[in-house]
Structure 1
Amino acid sequence: MRVFVIGGTTADPTEPMFKTQKALLEQACYQLGCSLGTAGHSVIVCSPFENSADIEVMRGFAETLPPRPAIEIHYPDSQRVNSQFNEVLSRFQISTVSRYPYPPPQVETREAFQYAWLLCQLNAIERSHLTIAIGGKPDGAANMLLLIAEGKQKPLLPISFLGGAASQSFYRRRYELTDRLGEDIDALQDSQSINKIVYLAERLVDRRSTSTVKIKGNRPNFFISYPRARPAEADYVETILRRRNMVVFRDETDFGAGYDIPRKIQEAVFSADVFVALWCREYACSPWCFDEMELALEKHAQSQLELWIFCVDDTRIIPRRARDLVFYQIKSRDELEGRIVTLLERMENTNSKK
């Protein structure tokens, strides 16, 4: 998933507590960057300047082992900002980057740049699957951004131990968060529990992205979509599912480009409850796989199919309708099995309540 971190101190630089707050903010954002990169999630940042939360998130993200997921940068397209981002990305050796430049201010004043950054942050919230907030002045832009995110019902995790706008958001939403996360929300109030935040983020997004699909039988039907040149991952997914007595369909025929999807494939997708896409370079180059995914996206848009996208290499998601869906970056077979088990448990719990 794509995660946007909004952070800032609540104290002014002239106040005695500023240095302590700044150190806590930087350490927390550094740990978040490490955790997000390790878990295979993309990071969205807006500022390349020192003393920002964004820098510490990037610093932590850069120290995770490759292959790393992509990092998105949303920024005013001025020469100064571009140069600074290029320097930071080079220093941290971050090469997989998606750039989203926005119009720079007509005049380079502090006030004009504040509005330019605000535009970038608003778009970053829209692009993200979840926003993590920490600190931020109650009377500043952070408070307005969080209120907008709440109004749009965007997934949001407010970390409250630094106070400020994030703390206010936490107390506005504490009953909703308790309902979704239980007693685990205590981690949002504890500076020593930053390593648990990504786990909570995954739970929040997984639960929110639960489809309204009604299982057709006693067990869900699965369709595995994969490139025929890479059957190993499909073999493993099929084994995991069949061990749990799931109904699995996968087609092992290589028809090549230029052929329409046979009727049996269409019927298998239409009868499936879950479409599992094993996204990779070979998948992106296969018209056959694209046709299967287009069918799945149509059914998913009608809330008739759950769509699980596992990215087994660092190839970017190409189909437009799939880009904003939650996907899972997978680095190992253990990660793949763990994610499938979690999703199965979430599906079972959701359907048991219907």
Structure 2
Amino acid sequence: MTQNTLLHYFKWAFIVTAFGLVLGAVLGWVNTGTIGGTATVFFICLVLAVLEISLSFDNAIVNANKLKDMTPVWQHRFLTWGIVIAVFGMRIVFPLAIVAIAAHIGPIDALVMAAARPDDYARIMTDAHLPIAAFGGTFLLMVGLTYFFNHEKDVHWIAFIEKRMARIATVKGIEIALVLILVLLFSSLLEGEESVAFVYASIYGLLTFLAVEVLGGLLDYSQETMSAAARGGLGAFIYLEVLDASFSFDGVIGAFALTNNLFIIAIGLGIGAMYVRSMTIMLVEKGTLAEYRYLEHGAFWAIVILSVIMYVQTLFHIPEVITGLAGAGLIGISLLASIRYNRLHPEGEGEQETEEALRRI
């Protein structure tokens, strides 16, 4: 890949990075009036951007997996409208909505609290972590398990597990049963109101996944009578927006470990979200998922791991760096396995799994 090609895909991400870091420095100067304070805010914005990117490698791959089957019109809509919703909706509006609901105040009052009383704002967001983690974890776990529990899936990376999952996928609702078992297990480790909140939030996450699946199918089916330019995209668009929301939960909550300032968080995570968008476009246009056959598997395993981590975080804190490294590590290993497979099958011959080669990774 040439430097010009990278610049083509990441041009807007670089522009937003420069603008965001300058804006963060200005915000730091306004808030502190010192060079040290300005440098601190600048550094926090940079760290938040890296955090978002590390947590969202799998998000970009899953987005690309869905986008490659969408029409160019809906691809463009997701990569324009969708990124606006992702940056402003999930990084600004969503936290404000949580605080407004939890504190029983209006959205304007929540915005004033974020600006004038950031400690109170951060405390409310932290208190809301358990139901958010339960909801997001359940939704993401369904996304991951649905990918592997598919009897038509014939390419397997971790073959001794994935083959068995594909084989028993004919049992209807097997992934739902596994999710409910995990929900009951983790809720039993919590006490009182926390246990009840975990169960309710998990059920809402499960129902949201099922509702999005049904709604997406109905919308895409209804579009079969429409023009080719509008066909087969609205349901996938809604699915990807909810998926992005679930991925963003961890980053938004984890950001409060670095700062209580909503606007600094929005700048840092917004920069990271632009890189996720750029990676998504590159993966779709270059056909990377088809070229590296196990990369998609690594992303979905990362989703499963992330969802379980979100469950575990309802019991005790797990540093975000571990979450990010776990996902990036799985994707990296799957990439190495894909490269190894391509070397062993340069012309694509032989569909049998090279388990011995994979074990050497």
TM-score tier, shorter chain, comes to under 0.3
Greater length-normalized contact order (CA 8 Å, ≥ 6 residues apart): 2
User: Hey, which of these two has a bigger chunk of helix by percent?
Assistant: 2
